[in-house]
Amino acid sequence: MELYVTLSIVLPWIVAFVIYLVKNDFVTNVLSLLMLPVLAYFAWEIYFSGNLPMLVDTPHWVDYAITIYDFGLLGYFLYQGIKNKSMLVSALAVLQLVLLIIVILMIEHSNTANIYIDKLTAFMYMIVAIVGVPIAIFATKYMEYDEKGKHSFVAILIWFLGVMNFAVSVNNIEWFFALFETTTLASYVLIRFRMDDQAVKNAILALWMNQIGGVAILFALLTFLKTSGLYHFTDLLNTDSKMLSLTALGFLSLSALVKGAQMPFHKWLLGAMVAPTPVSAILHSATMVKIAPYLLLRISPVIKGTLLAKLLIITTGFVFVAAAVIALTQENFKKILAYSTISLLGLMMLAAVVGTPIAITASLLLILFHAFAKGFLFIEAGVLEKVFHVKYIKQMRRLIERAPLTLMFIFFGFLNMTFVPFGTFIGKWIMIEEASGFLSHGSYVLLILYVGAGSAFLSVLYMKVLGISVRKSHGIERVRALPLPLKFNFVSVWYYGWLLFLTVFIAPFIATQIVPIAQELSGQIPNIHADNLSLVINTSTLYFWQILGALVILSLIHALPFFVHFKNVDTARPYNCGEAFPRHIETYNFVCISKYENYLIAFSIALFVMVLVLGGGLL
Amino acid sequence: MKFETLMLLLTLFAPIIGGFVYGVERIVKARMQSRVGPPLMQPFYDFFKLMDKRPLMVHSLHAVMGIMYFIACWFSLLVLFLGNDLLVAVFFHVIAVLALTIGAFSVRSPYSVIGAMRELMHMISYEPLMVLMVVGFYQVVGSFNLKDILNYDGIPLLQLPVVFMAFVLAIPMMLHKSPFDVAEAHQEIIGGPEIEYSGPFYEAVYTGKWIEYVYVFFFVFLFGGSHYWLGALLVLFVFLFVNALDNATARLDFRKMVKFSWFVLIPVSAFNIIFLALWR
Amino acid sequence: MGIFTKFRKKSPWILHYNTGGCNGCDIEILAALAPKYDIERFGMLNRGNPKQSDILLVTGPVTKRCRDVLRRLYLEMPEPKVVVAMGACAYGGGIFRDFYHVENGVDNIIPVDVWIPGCAPRVEAVIDGMVEAVKIWEKKSKEKEYMRNHSEELLEQLGARNDD
């Protein structure tokens, strides 16, 4: 058991190191393929071991090693800041160094174990294994298309998975800071991987923005040390929540918001798209941004119901809607996906902050299904980029004639993001159901409005993008599918199969797998159970015939047009007022919204300050 | 008769009911313009005639989407009647919109594509309002269950008057009636999303529209609670009001529609729900 | 002749196209739609969309600009369909006959089933013509109809090349 935990954390580091050193095609391919069953097996064993939650003690030298590692890391940041002439990076690195020294001077020895494994951790391991590793497999083929440094790239991806596994299993906030900054480092290295000017500029942007999160964690740590002397998650959760300083929790939430790329800090996630596409895939799905809802889920029992929580609801909900609205104006396919990630991260955090057991279930569902769907969509974006040379939605025009199979996968990914029987929808539905129960505060009505409006905007966004790519000339009936590389197809079918499987059995899946996690996190039993294959929440039921019916209709909608052709029906030309030459057709580009973008960002900054000042009680 | 059987029958006969509603609507509209108007069975004559036309399509995808729109509409009605959660029914309706817009986007006719984009604008306008309305029902009745609402002793209308008004003003958006018929503007984009369908495929879309009548007016009926006569009166009143509005107003820009929904209808409904929650 | 054929006469949908006349006929058509005559009581609708129409109501002498447009509109209408030519111009050009830009009537371009005489025809004449058209329409089959004097290749040339 402890062995599995240790291996889950250490093995990716070792494998990454081996790949980096050997730089052999065969070794890279085999090791990355092997990681999938191995990590999944470890996660499976941990998840079903039965003696969760458990604390794992670590030897003392690890403590010292991590402190030394911290200094090394911050020194590296300082060096990068000086090297790239970025005042901001160096200044933040120096600030963190100073704060870290103060923390180390203040910190007292605690007997609480530094590694804490509970069901949430095992759940995150599972996501990393099932969603994260296929991206590394995908990258082994992707990097063969006119890119340099395949082996080091795959090595960094796998190392990143190891870092993520480590980050979700630490209990000590000081360690958490180290791992938080390591994910920052990993994203920095990955974003500037192509090493051109734009990449380095965006990498620096990601670096300083995430360092703000690091500073916030250190402030939180300092406040915790000053007020209660506790610096372990388990200790914090076990004490009376009135004793805890809201300021510290406010700072922790702030770091989560920064990591989760919420509105004023969303630029770094958008900048990540200059890197090779697997980077975006891994940042958006399994790792990095998922730390944000993870952190809020960890502290949700103590911030539930406070003013801080209500302000966080308003902030994240606002981001959920605003990011969806801004996404409508975007041209670049990866940017659209990035905005929708920002938006849905807002929803996940909103659900985590509400903190009732059902809301936590919703948050976990959103984390899982968003990871699958976003990994899937970015994989397809990578295929589009490399095989079909499509980057902008303008170039996606009539994609159905060139890339029917890829378009079908994209269609399915989009359906997963909003439509009825899929996990993300169930998350939203549960949120509205839950929030309707306690509408005593204005922020909860706002919450319902946010969820309703945001999902409407996101549906519009996806339908718009799909609409551009399904446009088809009359006369072209049977389309030729271009053969794709085996690895691309394997990864696509992997995600497709998982999503389909989980959706059909969603009710027992939620009742047996997600509910126990929510129960463990919140300490109460959420009123969700499965009636055979139907899902029952409080008094409402999502019947199995509804799930299946919607699934069949949507499967027909997204797959049927590629296979069914009416043979005996004559075709006519589209109506064009009888003119011979069709007019050039464009869809709305929502330019009228983009002029409000700065107002939206300014408003979100105001909300951020409000969270800190009012919610955290800073003044 | 058992409730489930009744609801199943209602779903099965929904296209026929919707057809009659549409027939009555055409007569009412004609009388308001001091015309005689078509016979009551006119929609069904159209239906049979369309059955007899030679099928023509632009391409298979487009034709399939027309049929899927009809199926999704009917299924969303089934979910509304037989499921026990109104909220799910509201979200099921989005599938129908998806089928319609994907079909409309897939042809290279400018009218069709513009119509599809405007259809999406319609969705932005009425979707959050529907969610708010259902939450309002939850506030009043304490459940999302259809049966509970139909057995509720009080009158939801009295507690949700503003939500009701907002919903009545949103009905033109859902049924594509003037002043909010931008997606289907017959004089401007000749029917929008439905323009390219012909013969039996148009029939599917045409019948889907009838089902939407049943879907929308059933929500109006719910405002009567267990007082079914009140519900029926409300449906009658709203039907006449919407048709009068349709006859009396000109088409607005789609921006005005979105603004009206977002800056007038949704805020007032939200206030109604907040006050309801505070006073309960 | 299926079981639905007898419902045809109950709902003829009209596509109206003006091929360059003086708009006199069009005003008469509007009068037919308006309360006094109200042809909707016969189930007639002005659809403005060839895909869903049964009767093509053409006015005007067919200018050279309109020629191909008229052909395409005719081709886009699904069978069974009827063409009604209305007014003196539609029948041989009227006062525009033998002008340099005129094709001298509708039947040089597409087959015409019913003529409505007059310049401009009275509304009663329009309704009478429509009734005649519906009678002819009831006898038509839904087999594909070919235009006189035009081969399939020509029809292909009329269509647009589909590059977007």
Choices 1.10.1040.10, 1.10.390.10, 3.20.20.140, 3.40.50.12280: CATH for C8-158: 3.40.50.12280
C-beta atoms of B54 and C35 within 8 A: no
Compute the distance between CA of residue A144 and CA of residue A236 in angstroms, rounded to an integer.
Answer: 48
Q: Which residue in the set A398, A573, A585 is minimally distant from C160, CB to CB?
A: A573
Q: What is the pLDDT of residues B98-140, one digit of tens each?
A: 899 988 888 888 888 888 989 988 998 998 899 889 888 888 8
| Mutation for A interface: B85, B197, B271, most A CBs within 10 A | B85
* Residue A201, CB-side half-sphere exposure with 13 Å CA sphere: 7
Q: What is the pLDDT of residues A51-64, one digit of tens each?
A: 777 888 888 888 88
Q: What is the pLDDT of residues B34-84, one digit of tens each?
A: 888 888 888 888 888 888 888 888 888 888 888 889 999 999 999 888 878
The domain limits of chain C are 8-158
Q: Is the peptide bond before A53 cis (omega within 30 degrees of 0)?
A: yes
> Which percentage of chain A shows pLDDT scores above 90?
1
Q: Predicted confidence band at A605 (pLDDT cuts at 50, 70, 90)?
A: confident
ipTM of the complex, rounded to two decimals: 0.91
C-beta atoms of B58 and A574 within 8 A: yes
Contacts of residue A582 in chain C, CB cutoff 8 Å? 160, 162, 164
| Mutation for A interface: C15, C77, C154, C162, most A CBs within 10 A | C162
C-beta atoms of C51 and B26 within 8 A: no
Which residue is closest to C143 within chain A, CA to CA? A570
Element (H, E) at A464: helix A442-470
Q: What is the pLDDT of residue C162?
A: 42
Q: What is the pLDDT of residues B211-265, one digit of tens each?
A: 999 999 999 998 888 888 888 999 999 999 999 999 898 888 888 888 899 899 9
Q: Rounded mean pLDDT of A418-431? A: 87
Q: Which residue in the set C76, C162, C164 is minimally distant from A572, CB to CB?
A: C76
Look at residue A485 and give its three-state secondary structure: coil
C-beta atoms of C49 and A575 within 8 A: yes
The minimum CA-CA distance between C153 and chain B, rounded to whole Å, is 19
Compute the distance between CA of residue A76 and CA of residue A63 in angstroms, rounded to an integer.
Answer: 20
Which residue is closest to C159 within chain A, CA to CA? A580
| Cβ proximity of C81 and C113 under 8 Å | no
Which residue is closest to C13 within chain B, CA to CA? B46
| Cβ proximity of A212 and A184 under 8 Å | no
Q: Which residue in the set C51, C72, C144 is minimally distant from A578, CB to CB?
A: C72
Compute the distance between CA of residue C38 and CA of residue A47 in angstroms, rounded to an integer.
Answer: 74
Which residue is closest to C161 within chain A, CA to CA? A581
Which residue is closest to C77 within chain A, CA to CA? A572
Compute the distance between CA of residue B68 and CA of residue B99 in angstroms, rounded to an integer.
Answer: 6
Compute the distance between CA of residue B102 and CA of residue A463 in angstroms, rounded to an integer.
Answer: 7
Look at residue C63 and give its three-state secondary structure: strand
- The answer, for B140 touching chain A at a CB cutoff of 8 Å, is no
Subunits adjacent to chain A (3 or more Cβ pairs under 8 Å): B, C
Residue A117 phi, psi dihedral angles, 5° rounding: -110, 115
**Amino acid of residue B23:** G
Q: Which residue in the set C11, C49, C162 is minimally distant from B190, CB to CB?
A: C49
C-beta atoms of B36 and C38 within 8 A: yes
Name beta bridge partners: C45: C13
C-beta atoms of A397 and C162 within 8 A: no
Task: State the residue for tokens 């002043």.
Answer: B179
User: Is residue A3 over pLDDT 90?
Assistant: no
What's the token pair of residue A448?
């319902």
User: Is residue A416 over pLDDT 70?
Assistant: yes
| Cβ proximity of A577 and A274 under 8 Å | no
Q: Which residue in the set A570, A576, A582 is minimally distant from C144, CB to CB?
A: A570
What's the token pair of residue A394?
């303008």
Q: What is the pLDDT of residue A476?
A: 61
Evaluate the CA torsion angle A427, A432, A438, A443 in order and state its sign: positive
| Cβ proximity of A144 and A135 under 8 Å | no
CA angle A565, B115, A398 (to 5 degrees): 45
Q: What is the pLDDT of residues A219-250, one digit of tens each?
A: 888 888 888 778 888 888 887 767 777 788 88
Q: Which residue in the set B45, B56, B195 is minimally distant from C11, CB to CB?
A: B45
C-beta atoms of C78 and B53 within 8 A: yes
> First vs last Cα of chain A: how many Å apart?
46
Contacts of residue A528 in chain B, CB cutoff 8 Å? none
Q: What is the pLDDT of residue A443?
A: 66
* Residue B178, CB-side half-sphere exposure with 13 Å CA sphere: 14
Q: What is the pLDDT of residue A583?
A: 64
C-beta atoms of C48 and B35 within 8 A: no
The minimum CA-CA distance between B35 and chain C, rounded to whole Å, is 5
The C-alpha torsion from A247 through A248 and A252 to A254, rounded to 10°, is 20
Compute the distance between CA of residue A293 and CA of residue A363 in angstroms, rounded to an integer.
Answer: 8
Task: State the residue for tokens 């959760």.
Answer: A237
Contacts of residue B54 in chain A, CB cutoff 8 Å? 570
- The answer, for A48 touching chain C at a CB cutoff of 8 Å, is no
The minimum CA-CA distance between A568 and chain C, rounded to whole Å, is 12
Q: What is the pLDDT of residues A172-198, one digit of tens each?
A: 888 888 888 898 888 888 888 888 888
C-beta atoms of C43 and B56 within 8 A: no
CA angle C39, C41, C45 (to 5 degrees): 55
Contacts of residue B102 in chain A, CB cutoff 8 Å? 463, 466-467, 470, 557
- The answer, for B187 touching chain A at a CB cutoff of 8 Å, is no
Q: Which residue in the set A575, A579, A582 is minimally distant from C164, CB to CB?
A: A582
Q: What is the pLDDT of residues A302-348, one digit of tens each?
A: 888 788 888 888 888 888 888 888 888 888 888 888 898 999 898 88
Compute the distance between CA of residue C70 and CA of residue A89 in angstroms, rounded to an integer.
Answer: 69
What are the helix (H) ranges across A168-276? 173-191, 197-227, 233-238, 246-259, 267-271
Sheet with C45-46: strands ordered across: C45-46, C13-18, C55-59, C82-86, C114-116
Task: State the residue for tokens 């600030």.
Answer: A95
Query: A462: closest CA among A364, A330, A356, A274?
Result: A330
- The answer, for A586 touching chain C at a CB cutoff of 8 Å, is no
If phi over 0 gives left and psi between -120 and 50 gives alpha, with beta otherwise, what is residue C94?
A: left
The domain limits of chain B are 3-279
Contacts of residue A583 in chain B, CB cutoff 8 Å? 110
Name the DSSP class of A244: S
